[in-house]
Amino acid sequence: MGLKNYTVTALICAIFFSAGLAMAGNIVIKGSTTVLPIAQKVAEAYMKQNPDVKISISGGGSGNGMKAIIDGSTDIATSSRFIQEKEIKLAVEKGGYPVPFAVAYDCIVPVVHPSNKIENLTLDQLKAIYKGEITNWKDVGGTDGKIVVISRDTSSGTYEVWEEKVLNKERVFPGALLQASSGAVIQAISKNKNAIGYDGIGYINETVKPLTINSIKGSKETALDGSFPVSRALYVFTNGWPKGDILNFINFIINPEKGQKYVEEAGFVPLY
């Protein structure tokens, strides 16, 4: 009996002790699902190098991340857009001060089957294709054939950029084929000579042909200098200038030798 009691006490102590340890280096990250793969890869690598730091990551969208940084329920908010004015006001009212760090660029490139002779589409043509207004390749200078429009699921971050930058927040027409992953888009296009789709620059391989938009080629350089129309910066926000573990983690993300390597691995454009 005595032994049993002793064991129980020891167990409870152990739980409290380990919880205390975890608290010491605990970083909570919330926000954009687009930034999620970057955050996950970087956090994994960071935790491997700093085993005493525990990082917990959840998605939920950029808006939820901002809400969490304002009400203090997260240490770092990830976002696929810059903070909005009303969010800054709200944060300042609560005595906070959100600080942005750009961590990567997202560059979405339209792709077609390699046999398609089209090289370039204008932003307006792309918009019309995705709204279902242009339905034949010959209307944009290609060979006669129905355009098979491939899009991503409406919840994906890639879709979000496309909808914002190409469609100006208008809807993709219901006849578009929705693929559930970046890989599936490439797969479907490589098997269909009339297909058009879009994908993050990191996913594009030789089985498909990337198009230029308004004669600008999607690349690391054009994404970084802002000339490529379908690109955006991805941010993390902290409340006030970061300190301690959080500062170390953010330094890790933007370090070209460390975190930025994983940015490229996750299919995004690194900062440098």
Partner 1 sequence: MKQNYHSGTSRKNKEKIIRSIFFVIALASGLTLGLIVVFLFMEGLPIFSKVSVKDFIFGIYWYPTDDPADFGIFPLIIASLSVTLVSSVISIPLGISSALFLAEIASRRVREIVKPIVELLAALPSVVIGFFGMVVVAPFLQEIFDIPVGLNLFNASLMLAFMSVPTICSISEDAIFSVPKELREASLALGATQWETIWRVIIPASISGISTAVILGMSRAIGETMVVLMVAGGAAMVPRSIFDPVRPLPASIAAEMAEAPFRGDHYYALFATGIVLFLFTMAFNMVADYISNRYRQVGAATL
Which residues of the shown chain bind partner 1 in the complex (CB under 8 A)?
33, 59-61, 64, 145-146, 148, 153-156, 159-160, 171, 174-180, 184, 187-188, 191-192, 194-195
Nearest-approach distance from CB 68 to partner 1, in angstroms: 12
Nearer to partner 1, 20 or 175 (CB): 175
Q: Quickly list DSSP for 43-78.
A: HHHHHHH-TT-EEEEEEE-HHHHHHHHHHTS-SEEE
CA pair distance 209, 190, nearest whole angstrom:
9
Nearest-approach distance from CB 209 to partner 1, in angstroms: 17
Nearer to partner 1, 179 or 222 (CB): 179
Nearer to partner 1, 20 or 174 (CB): 174
H or E segment to which residue 7 belongs: helix 2-24
Nearest-approach distance from CB 150 to partner 1, in angstroms: 9
Nearer to partner 1, 101 or 173 (CB): 173
Of residues 148, 128, 136, 157, the one with CA closest to residue 59: 157
What is residue 97's DSSP assignment? Answer: -
Nearest-approach distance from CB 19 to partner 1, in angstroms: 24
Which is it for strands 148-152 and 54-60: parallel, antiparallel or unpaired? unpaired
Helices (H), 84-203: 85-93, 123-130, 157-165, 182-190
Nearest-approach distance from CB 131 to partner 1, in angstroms: 13
> What residues contact 127, with CB distance under 8 A and at least 6 apart?
166, 167, 168, 170
Nearest-approach distance from CB 33 to partner 1, in angstroms: 5
